[in-house]
Structure 1
């Protein structure tokens, strides 16, 4: 089996700090003088949807690499249930930093869950995960009997 999952091509990791379409409000008069409906019809979907994934295969293992900038290893839950590998995260920013009334504030919350059906040739007891420089890598070693053997010559007796 050369692929672990069929991933739609239209999934992308958007810039989560993009507010170029959202007006900067500096004074209370600016809020009162603006048309509120135009603020609320702005495209608010600027956060990440699902991180992009690369899946590679060698003779010894599969590797899943997931682009997760800004996240650390403690943000992830990686679970294995039979042959289903689930990668999920949920991050929240504490909104109690300031007791002052605010005019503009963005909630800090994001989550995702990706699942992969592993082929039977994966040795589930030796799966390892690392997170380094915004990339989560999961090594899925193959069972010894599933590893491709090099070609050999058979002597005729």
Structure 2
């Protein structure tokens, strides 16, 4: 008895029609990129990446030329198991974000809790919203 669902290597017309994103082949098992949220308030941007099963030391976060690069590479970690199917977890990935000029790059912080990597990107003081200004529309 086989517990692993087999999948044809040849896509059907229905595979193309029911894809979530027609520009990316999401049925490819090699495509790994974590889901993420980007939030903003008056003082900072916050990026949250859903990356389960990691440790703080598994992450590399770099900023160069206004590009934030987040990567993980733990392919060499030993495991007592061989996966027959794996639908979550990332052994290797890179994700980059273009940063606006408003970010104070030397004050970026990050932490990892409960499977979520959070990166806080503070805004420079001159870009922080202090008071809302209403502009009147005239005839």
Q: TM-score, normalised by structure 2?
A: 0.67
Correspondence list, 1:49-60, <5 A: 49-60=32-43
Alignment match, 1:65: 48
Relative to total residues, which structure has the larger helix share, 1 or 2?
A: 1
Match of 1:143 in 2: 124
TM-score (norm 1): 0.60
**Equivalent residue number for residue 91 of structure 1:** 74
The C-alpha deviation readout for 1:76-107, integer Å capped at 9, x for no partner, is 00001020100000112327x6xxxxxxx449
Q: Which residue of 2 aligns with 1:20?
A: 4
Does residue 125 (structure 1) correspond to residue 106 (structure 2)? The answer is: yes
Give the CA RMSD over aligned residues. Answer: 3.2
Unpaired segments ≥5 residues, structure 1:
1-18, 23-37, 98-104, 153-157
The structure that has the greater radius of gyration is: 1
Corresponding residue of 2:97: 116
Looking at structure 1, the residues matched to 54 and 31 of structure 2 have their Cα atoms a distance apart, in angstroms, of 12
- Structure 1 segments, 4+ long, off by >3 Å, are 44-48, 105-109
Query: How far apart are 1:143 and its partner, in Å?
Result: 0.2
Name 2:23's counterpart in structure 1. Answer: none
- Structure 2: unaligned runs, 5 residues or longer: 10-26, 134-139
Q: CA deviation at 1:21?
A: 1.5
Matched positions, count: 111
